Structure 1
């Protein structure tokens, strides 16, 4: 018996030694399953972490990790449940009812129930709060009711075809009202949601650090932390990916895509995008009140060369004011490059050669944005303008181009459609009262069409309405219509689960670093 015991003990020691050695080798080789830190380098930093008051995609890259919504889009842009496990719409299309997941909590410990959802939407629906996304929901939501602890319903002002996809918009995120009350005006810097990650630290201009919400009700986070770093210089962002200083970068500079694809430690994926890049014009300021001038600028810009030479094919010339990936799209046709026609229209409008105009751009926010703006500057100078060029830091820029009193003439910016529907792609930008109508366009025909499109349920009828609207918008030319962007994302090969949606959201919810 003693000999048998000794043999068993010796065998156990060998097994334990082998297991210990295996663990040591695993740790030495970096194969530990312990969550790791991930660095995401973007062209700029978030403007606001209050999803109901944010309007830029970089902010949404962060808020989509901090908050949950009733429903969301998966990687294929299909609507899937999030806080709502199921929903129904009344026969008349004027009431939507959502049954909620049970057990979800905000990061401050308060429950996510029907009353919390009601309070969150009543916050954005309150015009006095002056939230940037007020009109997105106020246009179609009449009132919200908590039917029971885990059932919430929305009475709609009219049957609204894209209602469900609008609830999936990043601004449909459910915020903690306790957090709003506790943080006050600082809520945009100190957010409280119910998502898988929560804010640890934000040093403006340097980094934003998110850590796991250990009480998350859904799939647990797989990273120790996510650090978002604003790196506007294209070369610096690409170098960070190569050296491993960054695990994920977006966008990958067009000039580095092919080179990085040859790096055996990096994956580069070029995702489709419903983002349109454009140059807006102040249509209430001379000489841009004249539609001939606005059309002249469209003829003056060589968009094909921008796509081929600057973006190296990582975009396509816009054929309408929304992307072909957006529901309701139909091609209105691009303005061809015709500088002589541009000069003729300017002469007809009485614009004198040497007229000074201002062109503003961010740098690093969009793929090759400064370089595109400089090319447009040269095109406009070639038809007789004197163009004053100015680069802006993204945060300050988002305030400047939204304020007509700031003195802009032309501003380079873009518009993605997080709900993936033409209503959200057009109404905020081109309706006279649109919340994001930074060009100050006012056209009764366009107003009528966009209002009709919002209130029409039949899909075929809606498509015809938006086809007419897109033709009218092209004719009025409040933008220099440039291109539909693509989203090149670089990821280190030891990172998995990173995707970019059509809306250019870099989704890290399921990311894991090995």
Structure 2
């Protein structure tokens, strides 16, 4: 049949209307900084970006995060556990009461046996579901767990190796996968990742490696206040910052992570919404303390901290950063009072370098491991080049070894002593400061040296270990905060890291994206979002 011009126009209009209707149903396409889809089997890679998009979307932990507010720091809350208590007579023994209304995406029931099964996949090498890769990704977060057992269908008992008041925070990173689905796919984690089953508010609908993951709402989600509004959530790896911006401007995506600061004026003029919020994050250099490291001299470490023009970095980032004065934001209850002040003082830095025996004819030449992009890494290439120039002024010449973020993460976990890190005396890695263990303890405790923990630089101090033990044995929040403040003050006084800035996590999205709340946290709750 031959169509006349009016008929063609009507058909074209109908097709355009249909396309608009599809978009109006609520499809959110996110341009991530990751180079690939973060692992979907319940132990994400790609840092906390993996937890944001492949973790807390499809899975829950016993302890979840309250991500509902932009105005106050996020706190933990009951997740698959209704509540928990430590035994006053034996504070190594914890009891977790489980909710009875949660089901995995495959329809199987969540219960205490499923919790034990998930702990076994990380800690029991004899279990058929044990996965060394998952253990390396998240197992270190529960290093204090000694044993665990199901008391009944809705009760789990966990014992720690020593009293550890941080345990509930640690469990927020252990996402629980379906034992029944693992059996169904033939006890194969790679097949499970292609057909994952958690208890979270989204389910995986389609996965195309290196290209996209498509998630759909879990309409039977146990928390009825958090049933997802979207019809579909698409996750698209876009590690190159300008590519993400171009994709947003062209309509290829609706939401991007970490837009380049110099593109934000154009994005705003194009009608895009820009969100930002300070959150528990530090962009820093983790320094080696091995015998051949130039960073063993505290004068050199302090000099480096005094040589960095943090306000200049903030300007480089278009104002989207907070200059660091230590590992923590000043508003943190764990900041404490240090004697050494982290600030920009070039003359004081040069004086310290001279006292350490360095000058125009004797310079430090060293290599730092960095990434080109990645979760929390902000704008690593221009930022590192800026710092390279700052340190050159005081006699520290830095060469960079640039790798992708997954490789950086693996080499961080391997530790400064690993063969792959020979010649590396520091690495630029963004750290999460969401709980006492992740904020402070894991970098300074001597029995957490890599690869058993993530004390990458092999720092050791009996005094610091004693403070950590005291904090872990303190179950009163106010008392615990005071001791954590002492730990942080000691870190600053010893200049254990080169601290630069805290991120404010800028994101850009079209005006059609509604209901997005940017919490003071690395993680997001995408169940509130809709797309008009």
TM-score grouping bracket, smaller chain normalisation? 0.7 to 0.9
Aligned pair partner of 1:390 in 379, 401, 426: 401
By how many angstroms is 1:211 displaced? 3.5
Structure 2 CA distance for partners of 1:95 and 1:281, relative to 1, 3 Å: closer
Distance 1:51 1:455 in 2: 30
Equivalent pair of 2:337/2:486 in contact (CA under 8 Å): no
Pair 1:261 & 2:263 matched: no
Q: Distance in 1 between matches of 2:23 and 2:364?
A: 64
CA distance in 1, matches of 2:311, 2:411: 29
The normalised TM-score by structure 2 is 0.81
2:311 match: secondary structure: helix
Matched, 1:486 2:504: yes
| Cross-structure match for 1:466 | 484
Relative to structure 1, the CA distance from residue 344 to residue 202 in structure 2 (aligned partners, 3 Å threshold; closer, same or farther) is farther
Aligned residues: 484
Is residue 113–residue 153 contact of structure 2 (8 Å, CA) maintained in 1?
A: yes
Cross-structure match for 2:318? 312
- The residue aligned with 2:9 is none
**Native 8 Å contact 2:43 2:55 kept in 1:** no
Cα distance in 2, alignment partners of residues 473 and 155 from structure 1: 30
- What is the CA–CA distance in structure 2 between the aligned matches of 1:327 and 1:177, rounded to whole Å? 39
Pairing 1:368–2:379 present? yes
**CA gap 1:456/1:368 in 2 versus in 1, 3 angstroms:** same
Secondary structure at the residue paired with 1:104?
Answer: coil
Alignment equivalent of 1:37, drawn from 24, 27, 31: 27
What aligned pairs does 1:204-223 form with structure 2 within 5 A after superposition? Answer: 204-213=209-218, 216-219=221-224, 220-223=227-230
**Closer/same/farther in 2, CA of residues 334 and 116 from structure 1, 3 Å limit:** same
Could you tell me which runs of 5 or more consecutive residues in structure 1 were left unpaired when the two chains were aligned.
1-23
Mapped contact 2:324–2:342 kept (Cα < 8 A) = no
The partner residue of 1:199 within 201, 204, 210 is 204
State the superposition RMSD in angstroms: 3.1
Residue pair 1:276, 1:321 contacting (<8 A) in 2 also = yes
Q: Do residues 107 (structure 1) and 105 (structure 2) align?
A: yes
Q: Check the 8 A contact 1:439/1:478 in 2, yes or no.
A: no
CA, structure 1 residues 302+188, in 2 after alignment: closer, same or farther (shift >3 Å)? Answer: farther
For the residue of structure 1 that corresponds to 2:28, the secondary structure is strand
Distance 1:482 1:324, change over 3 A: same
Contact 2:325 2:343 in 1 (8 A): no
Q: Counterparts of 2:107 and 2:476 in 1: how far apart (Å)?
A: 43
Q: Is the 8 A contact 2:44 2:50 kept in 1?
A: no
Is 1:414 paired with 2:430?
yes
The 1:33/1:235 distance shift into structure 2, 3 A limit, reads closer
Choose which of 138, 144, 149 in structure 1 pairs with 2:148.
Answer: 144
Report deviation, 1:313: 2.2
Deviations 1:462-493 (A, max 9, x none): 22222221122123223111112111122222
Contact 2:206 2:214 in 1 (8 A): yes
Q: Is the 8 A contact 1:107 1:213 kept in 2?
A: yes
For 2:78, the equivalent position in structure 1 comes to 81
Give deviations 1:147-179, integer Å, cap 9, x for gaps.
322333334555543433333x2x221122345
Query: Which residue in the other structure is 1:20 paired with?
Result: none
Verify the 8 A CA contact 1:359 1:377 in the aligned structure 2: no
Deviation at 1:82, TM superposition (A): 2.9
CA distance in 1, matches of 2:99, 2:220: 14
Q: What's the offset of the Cα at 1:363?
A: 2.2
Q: Compared with structure 1, are the counterparts of its residues 439 and 202 closer, same or farther at alpha carbon in structure 2 (3 Å cutoff)?
A: farther
Check the 8 A contact 1:271/1:489 in 2, yes or no: no
Q: Which of 416, 430, 447 lines up with 1:433 in the alignment?
A: 447
TM-score for the superposition, normalised by structure 1:
0.84
Say if 1:203 and 1:409 are closer, same or farther in 2 by CA, change over 3 A. Answer: farther
CA distance in 2, matches of 1:385, 1:234: 29
Gaps of 5+ in 2: 1-13
Q: Distance in 2 between matches of 1:213 and 1:272?
A: 31
Residues in 1 aligned to 2:208 and 2:43: alpha-carbon distance in whole angstroms: 22
TM superposition shift of 1:49: 3.6
User: Which SS does the other structure have where 1:345 is aligned?
Assistant: helix
